[in-house]
């Protein structure tokens, strides 16, 4: 399928895991894709030098984001799709709430919630003016399940869900849909940073009994960004093996 031929897509945090799989999915379906990540993205030859723009940058810095989006516009044209994928937990700094530190809370909220708001703020006015666009925000099953040692992460991701619902209502009359996806256990580098006891508990509470591949989440994101999903907006969609229900 070439559902995204002629479309311009931005993926934040696209160097690894779900972001990287989604970049490849959009490229495979004909899109031109711009990626921003603190880490280097795989060589353009691997991704498709003609249709993939990769930039190293910090999504917590508004000036960096403004330069990046301006560069995308000058290179590919107007942005049709934004996947706000960048984010992470405190990883090795995660603690039970009573032992947690405010500096970690601030980092987690900054990289997850505020980066999503910043990027959306940059692209939404042009999407609204053109009368079309897709925004997909990365939330997490941790926000739905209330995982222990992840209170800051759950709070930030639940904030993304609320933000998604609010701007979906605002932008719906202008042909722009906004949705959130909530992955559960997925094979990414981030899982290597989760304390083993947490990961064991998550897997034990997942009814299907296995961990998903990043490509499975990429497929859901691609669907939500397609014309087929024009009637879906403001929704929070869990892709978690039945671990929690909405």
CB under 8 Å to 191, separation ≥6 — which residues? 185, 199, 211
List, by residue number, the catalytic residues: 153
Helix (H) or strand (E) holding 239: strand 236-239
Asked if 113 and 154 count as a contact pair (C-beta separation under 8 A), the reply is no
CB 237 within 8 A of CB 144: no
Q: Where are the domains of the chain?
A: 8-238
Task: Tell me the pTM.
Answer: 0.94
Q: What is the pLDDT along the chain (246 residues), one digit of tens a residue?
A: 799 999 999 999 999 999 999 999 999 999 999 999 999 887 656 677 789 999 999 999 999 999 999 999 999 999 999 999 999 987 778 888 898 899 999 999 999 999 999 999 999 999 999 999 999 999 999 999 888 889 999 999 999 999 999 999 999 999 999 999 999 989 887 766 666 776 777 788 899 988 899 999 999 999 999 999 999 999 999 999 998 888
CB atoms within 10 A of CB 82: 28
Instruction: Please name which of 137, 126, 198, 132 lies closest in space to residue 164, comparing C-alpha atoms.
Output: 137
The dotted CATH code for 8-238 is: 3.40.50.720
């Amino acid at each position: 399928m070439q559902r995204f031929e002629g479309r311009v897509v931005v993926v934040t945090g696209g160097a690894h895991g779900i972001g990287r799989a989604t970049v490849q999915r959009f490229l495979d379906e004909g899109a031109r894709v711009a990626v921003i990540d603190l880490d280097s993205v795989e060589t353009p030859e691997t991704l498709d030098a003609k249709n993939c723009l990769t930039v190293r940058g910090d999504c917590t810095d508004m000036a960096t984001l403004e330069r990046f989006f301006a560069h995308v516009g000058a290179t590919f044209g107007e942005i049709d799709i934004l996947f706000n994928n960048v984010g992470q937990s405190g990883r090795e700094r995660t603690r039970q709430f009573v032992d947690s530190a405010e500096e970690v809370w601030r980092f987690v909220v900054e990289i997850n919630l505020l980066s999503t708001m910043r990027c959306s703020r940059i692209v939404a006015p042009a999407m609204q003016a053109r009368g079309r666009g897709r925004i997909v925000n990365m939330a997490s099953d941790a926000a739905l399940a209330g995982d222990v040692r992840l209170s800051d992460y759950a709070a930030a991701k639940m904030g993304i869900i609320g933000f998604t619902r609010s701007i979906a209502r605002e932008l719906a009359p202008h042909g722009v849909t906004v949705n959130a996806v909530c992955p559960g256990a997925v094979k990414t580098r981030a899982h290597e940073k989760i304390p083993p006891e947490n990961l064991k508990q998550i897997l034990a509470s997942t009814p299907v009994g296995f961990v998903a591949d990043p490509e499975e989440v990429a497929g859901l994101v691609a669907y939500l960004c397609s014309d087929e999903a024009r009637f879906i907006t403001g929704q929070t969609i869990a892709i978690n093996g039945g671990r929690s229900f909405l």
